[in-house]
Amino acid sequence: MAAANSVILTPNTIEEAWQMKEKYGRDAAFMMGGTTFQLQREKGVPLPPYVIMLKALDLKTLQRQVLDGKDVLSIGADVPLRYCMNHPILKAYAPVLCRAAGAVGSPAVRNQGTIGGNIGYRKGDAAASLLALNADVHFIDEKGEQVLPLDQYLSLMQEKAALLLAVKIPLPAPALAFFEKVGSRETFSPSILTVAASADWTPSGRLKHVRIAVGGGNQTPQRMQAVESCLENQALTNAAVTTACDTILEDYAPESDVFAGAEYRKMAAGMILESALETWKKEEVSNAPEK
């Protein structure tokens, strides 16, 4: 198991980084903050022979920009989670992401860990909130530079290598948003269940653009499309809430692990969704939209 020392590669440009990956294939891994590398190592998985350190690529920009005529928040892959947690632009436009970033690990992990790494990690809490925010990702793969919705990117990543450059959150951000993480203790815990959701109101007080993402355990966060569509264009009546919660119980297929059983996760997802929808209902009452 004790592997020979890895070679640390330090590309200076994105192209170089990608060439390195193409050259070494599975023998090379991209490293952003690197928080997950030591975790793997301590579990007995040696470092890959080549570690491509992306620090020099300057993917640290966080800004609002207009891209192809679309207003987006662009977050460079190398932006540490702590900035995502506290950045004024994000606080104003994507508070759910701030909350999600703040739910990752500890202050030290958030100082070192990045948003790009959180997506690369595949089970990230921040990634769940980005799904709910309808984010796109900007990356390079064998086909060159591309932009794809995050959920597509996550499934693509399962088969192919890609170099993530930035996350793009479309603006305006949804009027309604929700994030909750259940861990095995109050903080500093792996996620048992992470639920992120967002939606807008129609003028008539119905939900539209509903997005619900669920992650936790060893699973990559995923959208609950059946639940989304059963809430789409619905007013938040008790019946609608019930149907949505029942649907998530059917739609969501979690796994059991040492932290929680699948059954628990399912029920918890239902309960969290219920309380999320209730919060939204309350918001509706307090700042009633024009009908």
Ligand X SMILES: Cc1cc2nc3c(=O)[nH]c(=O)nc-3n(C[C@H](O)[C@H](O)[C@H](O)COP(=O)(O)OP(=O)(O)OC[C@H]3O[C@@H](n4cnc5c(N)ncnc54)[C@H](O)[C@@H]3O)c2cc1C
Applying CB under 8 A, which residues contact other proteins?
1-2, 5-12, 16, 19-20, 23, 34-35, 37-39, 42, 47, 50-51, 53, 55, 82, 105-109, 111-112, 182, 184-190, 238, 241-242, 258-261, 263-264, 267-268, 271-272, 274-275, 278
Contacts with ligand X by CB under 6 A: the residue count is: 31
Which of the stretches 63-71, 105-113, 200-208, 228-236 binds ligand X when contact is defined by CB under 6 A? Answer: 105-113
Regarding 3 and contact with ligand X (CB under 6 A), the answer is: no
In the stretch 124-153, what mask flags binding to ligand X with x, by CB under 6 A?
A: xx----------------------------
The CA-atom distances, in angstroms, between 47 and each of 78, 153, 204, 239, 259 are 21, 24, 55, 52, 27
Q: Does 196 bind ligand X (CB under 6 A)?
A: no
Instruction: Tell me how far apart the alpha carbons of residues 273 and 198 are, in angstroms, rounded to a whole number.
Output: 11
Candidate ranges 7-15, 28-36, 141-149, 254-262; the one touching ligand X (CB under 6 A): 28-36
Q: Under the phi-then-psi rule, with left for phi > 0, alpha for psi from -120 to 50, and beta for the rest, what region is 234? A: beta
Binding partner at 104 among ligand X, other proteins, none, C-beta below 5 to 8 Å by kind: ligand X
Residue 167 interacts with ligand X (CB under 6 A): yes or no? no
Looking at the DSSP bridge assignments, the partners of residue 9 are 52
Q: Which is nearer to other proteins, 102 or 221 (CB)?
A: 102
Among 74, 118, 129, 222, binds ligand X (CB under 6 A): 118
51 binds, among other proteins, ligand X, none (CB under 5 to 8 A by kind): other proteins
Asked if residue 241 binds ligand X (CB under 6 A), the reply is no
| Sole binder of ligand X in the list 28, 47, 75, 77 (CB under 6 A) | 77
Instruction: Find the distance separating the first CA and the last CA of the chain, reported in whole Å.
Output: 66
In the complex, what is the shortest distance from the CB of residue 262 to other proteins, in angstroms, rounded to a whole number? Answer: 11
**Residue 48 or 76 with smaller CB distance to other proteins:** 48
b/e 181-197 (16+ beta carbons within 10 angstroms → b): bbbeeeeeebbbbbbbb
Q: How far is the CB of 58 from ligand X (least distance, A)?
A: 12
- Cα–Cα distance for residue pair 119/80, rounded to 1 Å: 12
Binding site for ligand X (CB under 6 A): 29-37, 39, 54, 77, 81, 104-105, 109, 112-114, 116-118, 120-121, 124-125, 162-164, 190-191
